[in-house]
Amino acid sequence: MATMTRVCGGALVLRRAAAPGILLDKRTATRAFYPAMWDLPGGHCEAGESPEQTLVRELAEEIGVTPTAWHKIDELHIPEPDQPDTLVLHCYAVTAWTGTPTNRQPEEHAEIRWFGIEEACALPQLDPAYPPLFRRAVSTVNIQGSYDAY
């Protein structure tokens, strides 16, 4: 029987001069699903937890930031490899946060890094819907991120 797994991802976005940027994490090569793929920081929704609550909790756990401004940009339905299950990914553009992003879970992520939007769109990613998602994240918001270097 197919199931739906709810997860949440946050695209930290910033505009530095005229060059939009986005923060991504690279899944470790040992991950069971989508190894060595670039992804949005985030994770599974816990029972009774809203996607927004998941966003705040997961960004604190994974990269050490607390989002203070965000909006939903999409909901992707991604088939899980070799399974009848579907991953429902609630995607948010995070435009302001406190803290400095750092890789707090190296067992899950090989690295985190800022990318220009075109560079981010060219990376190996877990779904072909990511490049348009990344472009929407940086183009539909008034960037007010608290981090100014990448």
> Tens digit of pLDDT for each residue in 76-115?
988 776 777 888 999 999 999 999 999 999 999 999 999 9
Closest alpha carbon to 41 in 53, 57, 30 = 57
- Does residue 144 form part of some domain? no
Instruction: Read off the pTM.
Output: 0.86
Domain count, the chain: 1
117 within some domain: yes
**Considering the domain boundaries, does residue 81 fall inside one?**
yes
Per-residue pLDDT, 1? 60
Residue 114 belongs to some domain of the structure: yes
147, part of any domain? no
Instruction: Give CA separation, 3 vs 26, 80, 103, in Å.
Output: 26, 10, 30
CATH code where residue 28 lies: 3.90.79.10
Domain that includes residue 80, residue range: 4-139
Q: Which residues of the chain have pLDDT under 50?
A: 142-150
